[in-house]
Amino acid sequence: MNQKQKILLGLLVILAIALAYRLTNPFEQETVDRLTYTRATKVAPAKDAGAAPHQAEVRLDLLRSPPQKTVSIQRDPFRPPSVPKPAGEDKPAPQAPEARPKSDREKIQEHFQRFKTFGSYRHGDTIYLFLQRGKQVLVASRGDRIDGKYDITEVTEKSATISAKGLSTPLKIDFDEL
């Protein structure tokens, strides 16, 4: 008999003893005819003569007209603090010259500037490009779609060719230059 079997046998003997004791000595809750507990403090009798002395008084006047708040809010934690302007800054700030609207190519290039490449993997004819954007890691290959709107048409070790809606010609993005 090995160590585990000895332990199991010992536990079974203890279980059998516990069951035999419980069956021969069943637990019964004690009952009393009359409760004898008295409160340490005296309860004032209710104003209503017909109410029993053990019932609490319900003050409906507080529900109908609650007391007015005496506390005023000094600072709202959900609103940013207002910064007073210096005396000489009542004039509006000069307007910056309006920037020309960005083309779709520039918008896509700005979007992909957040990406960094940290390697590639070639398996047969397929090249997998490992891209990182913040804490997100993407594995991109030919035929994949990034962010639901950019299709990857070609992949090399350090660049990708992107086509998107609104682009007349595919855009080549070199991740080493970013």
Give whichever of 97-101, 129-133, 173-177 has the largest mean pLDDT: 129-133
Instruction: Give the domain ranges of the chain.
Output: 104-174
Residue 121: enclosing H or E segment and its boundaries?
A: strand 116-123
Q: How confident is the model at residue 174 (pLDDT cuts 50, 70, 90)?
A: confident
Please determine, for residue 40, whether its predicted confidence score (pLDDT) is greater than 70: no
Please determine, for residue 137, whether its predicted confidence score (pLDDT) is greater than 70: yes
Per-residue pLDDT reduced to its tens digit, 52-110: 556 678 777 777 777 776 666 566 677 776 666 666 555 666 666 666 777 777 888 88
Task: Give CA–CA dist 55/83, Å, rounded.
Answer: 56
Here the tokens at position 164 are 């998107």
Q: Which of 157, 117, 126 is nearest to 144 (CA)?
A: 126
| Burial class of residue 170, CB neighbours in 10 A (0-12, 13-18, 19+) | middle
Q: How confident is the model at residue 4 (pLDDT cuts 50, 70, 90)?
A: very high
Choice between 151 and 94, residue whose per-residue pLDDT is larger: 151
SS3 string, 22-34, reads HHHCCCCCCCCCC
Task: Give CA–CA dist 165/169, Å, rounded.
Answer: 10
Q: Is the pTM of this model over 0.75?
A: no
Please determine, for residue 47, whether its predicted confidence score (pLDDT) is greater than 60: no
Task: Give CA–CA dist 172/153, Å, rounded.
Answer: 10
